[in-house]
Structure 1
Amino acid sequence: MMIRAIVTDIEGTTGAISFVHRVLFPYARAYLSDFLRRHQDEPEVAAQIHATRELAGEPDADLEHVTTLLEGWIDADRKATPLKALQGMVWEQGFKDGEFTGHVYPDAAEEMQRWHEAGIALYVYSSGSVQAQKLLFGYSDFGDLTPLFSGFFDTTTGGKREVESYRRIVEAIAVPAGEVLFLSDVVAELDAAAAAGLQTVQLVREEGMETGDHPMAASFTAVRFDD
């Protein structure tokens, strides 16, 4: 397959799922309440607080209840856009303070660099906010990787298991769908991307993972295509 652009997922694909669940989620939960109290009147934060109320169907919820809602969504790993935006804001300070670095598999860092040098446009599509994506790659285990990417997409584009989301991405990057490769560890996401006409490869980094009818690779090094 001739590939001009690659769109990659993050969790389980470029980095370990455990990093998000063992490092980032606990950090956000620990500091979210204090962050909201200190920054609730700032326009970007206020907008996400309002969006949380609207999404929950509780327009009159006070800040304490909004915080409780968000903490519950963290525990449930809910893919809610306002939660992801607020998590990114909280994580920013942790990254900048050196509390942690963004986990990236060595093979992912190496191959993305090689693909970038070969002239293939790289994009990220993750349920985490664009801000969080840029933080993870900007403060990664391998330094600032953001120059490798031509763009970032999150759930404001649409759900990752929805075919229309991938059509929107293809339209945004202006590359024919058949020349775009989507990398993910989740079969339902790959199914949606394939239905939109994208090429797909499933990253199967752990034993026992659910697999589908997509080409599989145990690492980025094993991803094969004609560039």
Structure 2
Amino acid sequence: MEEQNTELYLFDIEGTTTPIEFVHKVLFPYSVQNFITFFSETSAETGFAEELILASKNETEYTEEVSDSAESLTKFCKYLVSKDRKLGILKEIQGRIWKKGYESGELKSTIFPDVPPFLERIRKSGKRAAVYSSGSVEAQILIYRYCEAGDLTVYFESYFDTAVGGKKESTSYTKIAEKLSLLPGSILFFTDIKEEADAASEAGVRSIIVSRPGNHPQAEHDYRVIKNFEEILS
């Protein structure tokens, strides 16, 4: 079985531990609604404007010139969200917006009910757990800290975002293994995306596809598929 040789369980978030619906119907709309307030309140932080203006040069479909005004930056960020872009600067901005929402009580994340018991079983077995998501590390921590099941951050030792590379790039998983001082083969990665599993496997990291309600259909593959974590370590 995959879990017998596993030292660390690496978790994707969206569609794996958290419903896609929560991300796309709660988190993304919340950030869209609050971009204008964010840019109005952080106008002094020109780094955000500079990075977004630079990023706009690569968006050939976006025909408007992006300026440093709150309105222009807001409009461009809404466009990026609509295209589901994984830009680090966008994720950082969203993370800051969500932080305020979580801390104020406006936001509370949804986690699949089988996740907390599985994390507890991992801890009791002496194994390790970490997270790798396209959302910023800050956003990842917020999802697990402010969830309906309570604070789950106690179960994770590390968080990784696209600073280590894209999730469909094999080198990203190599870097994660190196940072964790583990052999790639001792890591078991849970994801809902075949291409991410392919990239992990190319790096020597073993993968399992998680099939949750609302997840997108995947191309044919030979990976083990589970519907919930009760199928692991049971």
TM-score, with structure 2 as normaliser? 0.89
**Native 8 Å contact 1:48 1:85 kept in 2:** no
Matched, 1:209 2:225: no
Quote how far apart the aligned CAs of 1:206 are: 3.3
Contact 1:10 1:124 in 2 (8 A): yes
Structure 1 residue 120 corresponds to structure 2 residue 120: no
- The CA distance in 2 between the partners of 1:50 and 1:99, in whole Å, is 30
Deviations 1:46-88 (A, max 9, x none): 4333222222228972223222111101111111111011000
Partner of 2:62: none
Q: How does 1:17-96 map to 2 (within 5 A)?
A: 17-42=20-45, 46-57=46-57, 61-63=67-69, 64-96=71-103
Q: Is the counterpart of residue 221 in structure 1 residue 230 in structure 2?
A: yes
1:156 match: secondary structure: helix
Match in the other structure for 2:142: 135
Partner-residue secondary structure (3-state), 2:188: strand
Letter in 2 for 1:62: D
State the 1:192 CA deviation: 0.3
Read off the aligned partner of 1:124 and give its amino acid letter. V
Match of 2:18 among 3, 8, 15: 15
State the superposition RMSD in angstroms: 1.8
User: Does residue 154 in structure 1 map to residue 164 in structure 2?
Assistant: no
Q: Are 1:49 and 1:82, in contact at CA under 8 Å, matched by a contact in 2?
A: no
The amino acid that maps onto 2:67 is: A
Q: Could you tell me which runs of 5 or more consecutive residues in structure 2 were left unpaired when the two chains were aligned.
A: 59-64
- In structure 1, how many angstroms separate the alpha carbons of the residues matched to 2:226 and 2:98? 30
Distance in structure 2 (CA, Å) of the matches to 1:41 and 1:147: 35
Deviations 1:83-138 (A, max 9, x none): 01100000011111111211111101110121022221111000110010011101
Quote the residue 1:145 is aligned against.
Answer: 152
